[in-house]
Chain A
Amino acid sequence: MYLFLCIVSFISVFPLYWMVSAATNKSADVISGRLIPGGYFMENLNNLLAAQNIGRAFGNSFKYAAILTIVSLLVSSLAGYGFEIFHDKAKDTLMSIILLAMMVPFVATMIPLFQMFSKAGWLNTTIGFILPTISTPFLIMMFRQSARSFPHDIMEAARIDGLSEIRIFFQMFIPTMRSTYAAAMTITFMNAWNSYLWPKVIMTDANSQTMPMVVANLTEGYVTDYGMLMLAVLICTLPTAVVFFCLQNAFAEGITGAVK
């Protein structure tokens, strides 16, 4: 059993280790199978900076993902809270209609969205990037689920004390549901950072391209500089890896809440 787990863990980690080691080696060394980190990191970095505007792409991706995460968490948690705390028949029906949206594949909405957004002048803008995914059925469901465990008597007490509904939400719900917010944040940030199809559709200008787009551009060409390419892949992976490590436990907790 331990052997099995070790093999699976090795397979899981090895490609990532290879990515890190390749990022610090010369392309020729990577091809010849060198697996230990080398001293070619700065050269790879300089080549990369000369080949593509990585700094700008990183900045763009970070800006889009950060703004989307903040807005999305606010809008989706407000909705999830509204659906659960003030639930009645009409709202429950609306919720099941909204859940149907989970079944709508993105490609089926992509073309009309592109037409809508280009008419509105939102190509190459942050609003164009974030608008389709601010509100997602999955997040609303997750927050609705967690609002179920929000103690009712405390809320009643707060109402009697004259706290407004908005303040109950901001001063009591948000602080209590920290782990749900952390899980939602992990999921939203990762999805936003990693998204590829939608930015490829609306970010037509090189100035507004995202990190995954720029990394994908690097593979076009006949000779691949593996050291440089893997460094780009590494840089593209770092932010999501950091978010993942910081919020790992909260993520698992939040998922547990959602699966119940």
Chain B
Amino acid sequence: MSKSKKMTLSKKQNLMGWVFLAPGAVLIFIMSFVPMFRALVLSFKSGVGANMKWSGVSNYVRMFQDTVFVQSIKNTFFYLIIQVPVMLIFALILASILNNKDLRFKGLFRTMIFLPCATSLVAYAIIFRSLFANNGLVNLVLVNLGILDQPYAFLTHTTSARIVIIIALLWRWTGYNMVFYLSGLQNIEYSVYEAAKIDGASAVQSFFKITVPLLKPTILLTAIMSTNGTLQLFDESVNLTNGGPANTSITMSHYIYDMSFKYVPNFGYAAAMSFLILVLVAVLAFLQMKVGDKRD
């Protein structure tokens, strides 16, 4: 008798669990998975508003003939390939320096380096746009130091516009990733480092032999998060360079937004482009997990 009572109790608890998680789970399905499939359907249609017609794969064909979109893919990958590794390595180095027990003013340094994360994306994009403007502070300093004869238009030259975006991204996100590494480092016994030091390992050696291998799961997590974020870059492209000059710094998300809400709306085409981002995110995350596993 007591057994059957226990059964009903666990059944009741099992049901209770579904009640607890239902609102969250249902919302994710309706707000994420359902729209995702609708976007896939939409990507095979073209037309405006209620006059959407099936058009096969024409949107996908058009995508690769669209020079602006191809340019936006190139730009996004340029940001991804340069910014993400530089940022993660830099964050890792900073975290291992700040993990040092003998370091003074640790809390102060940590707070200062994390501070950029308190600014909104639009806000920091505008700060950097102002600093790198023709009459901005960076030009003023460079001219006064005699490095430049006259102000350089950072934001209207292709290469420098892209570099400014990368600098801004590094400024905003390095501290954020550092916090993840610092948290991960707290799970590593500090005595491991002390033992390595006694055995004569240099700081560089213990960084590569202890920190990097033990932090691998966290590094993987931040790599996937940053890749995902960079592929969806929008605010910076809009507010820092406005995609310019002549779309040479525009990101994929920025172009998709323009295609849907700024120009004559072409939802089918925009959905096809957005689906490409989804595939890219999935493929890159998969590759990163594969690489992360292999090094075990």
Contact = CB atoms under 8 A, between A and B. Distances in A.
Interface string A1-25: 1001100110111011011001000
A82 B19 CA distance: 8
Given A82-B19, A259-B221, A111 B270 contact: yes
Q: What DSSP secondary structure best describes chain A's contact surface?
A: helix
Contact of B14 (A86, A102, A251): A86
B68 interface: no
Contacts of A212: 120-123, 235
Contacts, number: 259
A54 interface: no
A59 to B, nearest CB: 16
A103 B117 CA distance: 22
B156 to A, nearest CB: 14
B250 to A, nearest CB: 14
A69 B147 CA distance: 48
Contacts of B130: 22, 224, 226, 229-230
Contacts of A251: 179
A106 B232 contact: yes
A197 interface: yes
A124 B258 CA distance: 20
A259 B183 contact: yes
Contacts of A19: 123, 127
Interface string B80-116: 0000000000000010011000010000110111111
Q: Is the interface of B mostly helix, strand, loop or mixed?
A: helix
Contact of B115 (A13, A83, A112, A219): A13
B57 to A, nearest CB: 17
Given A33-B137, A98-B25, A229-B126, A12 B239 contact: no
A215 interface: yes
Interface string B128-139: 111101010100
A34 to B, nearest CB: 10
Contacts of A245: 118
Given A8-B94, A111-B35, A196-B120, 14 more contacts: A15-B124, A16-B127, A19-B123, A83-B17, A85-B20, A98-B28, A101-B33, A104-B36, A111-B260, A212-B121, A216-B126, A224-B133, A237-B123, A255-B179
12 contacts: A18-B131, A75-B27, A103-B282, A107-B232, A109-B31, A109-B36, A112-B34, A112-B36, A190-B118, A219-B239, A224-B130, A252-B179
